[in-house]
Structure 1
Amino acid sequence: MPRSLRRCGLALAVAAGCALALCLLWRGGPAAGRGERGAAPGSELNHKPRSLSSSQLKHLTSQLDLQRLWKTCLQPMLVERYPGSLGNVRVRQFIMEKLRALEASWQVELDAFEDRTPHGMVSFANVVATLDPTATWRLVLACHYDSKYFPRDKHGRAFVGATDSAVPCSILLELVTALDKLLLKARGQGSKITLQLLFFDGEEAFQEWSKTDSLYGARHLAEHMGRAPHLQGITQLQAISLFVLLDLLGAPRPTIQNHFLATAGWFKRLISIEERMHQLSLLQSHSQEQPYFQRDSPYGFIEDDHTPFLRKGVPVLHLIATPFPRVWHTLEDTEANLHPPTVENLSKILAAFLAEYLWL
């Protein structure tokens, strides 16, 4: 559950979002400096993507397999998985096993901790997967794998959070599976920029969203990475060149808007990729008149797993459907209410973004 200021109180929402974005720009943002994270060595801040040709886009998207995404990645996650539950442990193990089975030889680590909640002390664990730990900079793709706790209904139905956030987790797993050989090759070439996946636990509030009852995993990991040394005198947090968070995806006709001026250039790249793919007829059930990625002004600030990282100066892209899906935080957030073509289309767009960013 991200907490949104939403369209009601629009002035406040825009002011909050723009204030944070302008703060990053004043500090330097992704194009000029590192803000409170301090100066960073090297030329990573001038990193430019490499555009794919039409034939490369077609080949890249052909590697994605919706059936694999759906059957192998998504369906095993559609269980009750609130922190501390058996389902939570099983899904976490599933994610780690999928990553460790890939040829690219990911470094998969567990960031385990305990924290006090309205339900007492609870165990949490983030999954941190890094393609090449020796690379200086990291493109981070992130989502949360826990589900919100709701009592089961009279029919015994549990909340499984298909859009929130089983689909985003499945998209990330499908991306690295489909691009496994390309990522292995990139790792072997010793690139300065690598890929890191973060699967957060404890995004949801146990009772009422607050600074202490929400974002358990993200808050813990941001603090840890801010202290953990990396290379050349920088921390793991300073090594993040761009933090891309996926949430509330999988329902039909999503609208995804930019939230931060500091990363507007990267968001425009997603718009461009979607337009090119539409022109090449690579997207299914996709209307040119209603694209996913919108050119509107920033939507406003939404609290989510990116927030602890944003406050420490990390450049962020927040890819979340706004307004939220109609099934949000209901027992109807199930597989039956997902839209497979949308899931496949978003996977293709993100695959191209990833390939262009990492020069695959």
Structure 2
Amino acid sequence: MSRILLVYTGGTIGMIKNPETGALTAFNFDELLSNIPELRLLEHKISTVSFEEPVDSSDMDISDYIKLAELIEVHFEDYDGFVVLHGSDTMSYTASAISFMFENLKKPIIFTGSQLPIGDLRTDAKENLITSIQLAGLKERGKTVIREVGLYFEYKLYRANRTTKINAEHFEAFESSNFPPIAESGVNLKINHEKLIKPNLRKKMLVHKSLNDDIMVLKLFPGLSQQTLSYLFKMPHIKGVILETFGSGNAKTDDWFVSLLESLIERGVYIVNVTQCVGGAVHMGKYATSERLKRLGVISGGDMTTEAAVAKMMYLLDKNLGPKVFKTIFETSLRGEMN
């Protein structure tokens, strides 16, 4: 038997439909077993805790990431695994942030949610919740199997910081194009042991609760004007820019564009290059359209998702690192977020 803590932050999975009005109302998690009797069939001991005021995932910010990390930290020694119930829209952002905040994690923190409310007749919430609990409590020879932050949706468990939400209507809402699922649910649970993170059990777990959100995400598009970009780059508080480029890291080669990036870097702002493509990676210097970015000192995001790049930037900005060290660390995989 494993002890599992369900943490409800908000989102569709925690809503039920009022049969009289049709309106969605917050689910009472104190009555979890009576509403989802299937949970009684699980061998695990399940406890629940909720944010005092559930947050729609669209309203999530770094204060909520810190609140969630602190909540898990307080209960960490009392449970074998954690299942975080979260709105799907920004789940990849939150889960990526939590993956960086917990260094040398030795227990599973699994995010899940649903496209339909838990009280809906056709809901995907029950399967997502039940299997997430099974995965969080999974042991082999008495030892915890999963020791990282995962995201479970529609029969697949992904490494959380490898995911992106790709569909607002289908139950298969998430994708991990550059990294295979670490587990799949069918007749049996199949674990991809070779792909699991294997933490150093001798090292102490650290929880990092200092994040910096002075970040801008800029998606390049044909026709982006000098006037617009000049205005955006003048904002004095910006410390990091995630540049979503074309293909394998390509961008405009106009002198004004390169000069603006150069002035930003000289000001001490970090610029990270990630691709707009769902799959694939940045290879700066492969084409002439990315060679100048490389020479400027733009940081390669490799095959990281935008969500992971944002979370990693938030995590590293407050570490007081020098430019060369920052670039080296950003281009190094810390939590399995890049190949």
* TM-score for the superposition, normalised by structure 1: 0.25
Higher strand share: 2
Q: Quick check: which one's helix share is greater?
A: 1
Normalised to the residue count of structure 2, the TM-score between the two structures is 0.26
Bigger radius of gyration among the two: 2
Higher RCO (CA-CA < 8 Å; seq separation 6+): 1
